Amino acid sequence: MEKTGFYMGSIRATFKRKFIAGLFVSIPAIITILVLEWFFRFVDGLLSPALDSMLGRHFPGLGFVATILMIFLLGIISTNVVGRKVIDWLEKGILRIPFFRSIYSPTKQLVDAFSPDSHTSFKKFVIVEYPRQGLYSFGFLTNECVLKTPEGDCKESLSSVYVPTNHLYLGEIIMARKEDIINTGISIEEGVKIILSGGIATPHTILTEATQVRDESLAGAKKN
């Protein structure tokens, strides 16, 4: 009886351990599938009603394909000189409408921040001592300016850093001296992953840009 109880306990423990392991493997896959399914249904539903009324019946996935093709066409137009002017003209019209302006303008600025072709995009993924001394936060270097007194005899170079406080879309904008900003050398894409993962994707060792330059110089000297 004791052996039977021992074996049953061992089987239960093994089953529990394997089940938990399988659960942790399957949860990310299930969430990914659900998100992709929601995205497909959302995009497909944008044009599906109009297409259904035009064709007289419903074709699953046709709205999704039509939306993707439309976005691709807009991409072609936006990279064309004439098309760019038309889009700029439409944007100016939207910005004249108070309600739409309050939504469109900040949304466009946020999207442009991640565009590699935009001059207003995030420039570097950095570390700043914030919100107090001894605590460090990840942030995105967005711009630089010069702080000047009314007399003009005192100038100080400052950099604006966007520090996300709620995943990525909400945060604080702080002004810091250049010498107080640590350039991580991490790409913007990897920086976004670190923020969205809650810091889980943070590498064990972060080499600052100065360290990377020094290591590359030493490696080049050794080769020569």
The residue-averaged pLDDT of 73-99 equals 81
- Element (DSSP H or E) covering residue 144: strand 136-148
Query: What is residue 213's predicted lDDT score, i.e. its pLDDT?
Result: 45
Contact 142, 123 (CB under 8 A): yes
CA 45 to chain centre: 25
Q: How are strands ordered across the β-sheet holding 136-148?
A: 170-177, 155-166, 136-148, 124-129, 181-183
- Give 48: exposed, middle or buried? Use CB within 10 Å, 0-12, 13-18, 19+: buried
The predicted-structure confidence for 185-196, as pLDDT tens digits, reads as follows 888 888 888 888
The predicted-structure confidence for 96-131, as pLDDT tens digits, reads as follows 887 777 777 777 776 776 665 555 578 889 999 998
For the cut 60, the answer to whether the pLDDT of residue 141 exceeds it is yes
Contact 106, 113 (CB under 8 A): no
Q: Which tops the pLDDT comparison, 207 or 183?
A: 183
CA 175 to chain centre: 21
Decide: helix, strand or coil at residue 216. helix
- Give 139: exposed, middle or buried? Use CB within 10 Å, 0-12, 13-18, 19+: buried
Retrieve residue 185's tokens: 């050398």
The predicted-structure confidence for 12-32, as pLDDT tens digits, reads as follows 778 888 888 888 888 878 888
Quick one: pLDDT band at residue 209, thresholds 50, 70, 90?
A: low
Q: Using alpha carbons, select from 134, 143, 223 the residue that is nearest to residue 178.
A: 143
Contact 143, 160 (CB under 8 A): yes
The residues near 174 (Cβ < 8 Å, ≥ 6 apart) are: 128, 130, 139, 160, 161, 163
The chain-wide mean pLDDT, for the chain, equals: 79
Quick one: pLDDT band at residue 139, thresholds 50, 70, 90?
A: very high
